Amino acid sequence: MAKPAPKKTASAAKAKPARTLTAADLKRSTPRAVTREELIDLLNGDLAKEFQALVQYVQHAAAMTGPQYDAIKAELIVHSNEEHAHAISLADQIDFMGGVPTVDVAQAHISPDSKVMLEQDLEGELDAIVRYRERIAQAEMLQEYGLRRALEDILITEEEHARDLQDALDL
């Protein structure tokens, strides 16, 4: 059963400083074994975060100011479209596994500061990379090879997004 939808208000709180993906992030302990039902719930959480990323990228691209951000603003629109494709892929996989895709949207983050917006976006991408690496291992454990492949495609794109944002932030 789906959890109640979180409030869809945006947070204007200060973002954590952006960070680069570290070796510790990449070498997490063995992923937690899950049941098929637990994996569906986790995938629905991922789907809510894909919806959030899509919304956040659209808002950031529109609200970002300064000529130094023109190129990344265009890239954020590309990112939003790719997040939409991820959401469709996840929804299809959840349905295929017998679950019901969520319509929940995780809380989006906003800021009046363009650099902070990029830091917020990067933090979301780094979180997605860690989550999708875990989901891939969990799908493998459950011998859900089609799901694993779909998640690998999403992961590749999330890693590209992180690199784009790190470049824009000169990290």
| Per-position pLDDT tens, the chain of length 171 | 444 444 333 444 444 444 455 545 555 557 889 999 999 999 999 999 999 999 999 999 999 999 999 999 999 999 999 999 999 999 999 999 999 999 999 999 999 999 999 999 999 999 999 999 999 999 999 999 999 999 999 999 999 999 999 999 999
CATH number at residue 84: 1.20.1260.10
Q: Give the containing element (helix H, strand E) for 87.
A: helix 70-96
Does residue 153 belong to any structural domain of this protein?
yes
Which range marks the domain in which residue 120 is found?
33-168
pLDDT of residue 18: 44
Does residue 85 belong to any structural domain of this protein?
yes
Does residue 12 belong to any structural domain of this protein?
no
Tokens in use for 97? 């596994």
Does residue 14 belong to any structural domain of this protein?
no
Name the domain count of the chain.
Answer: 1
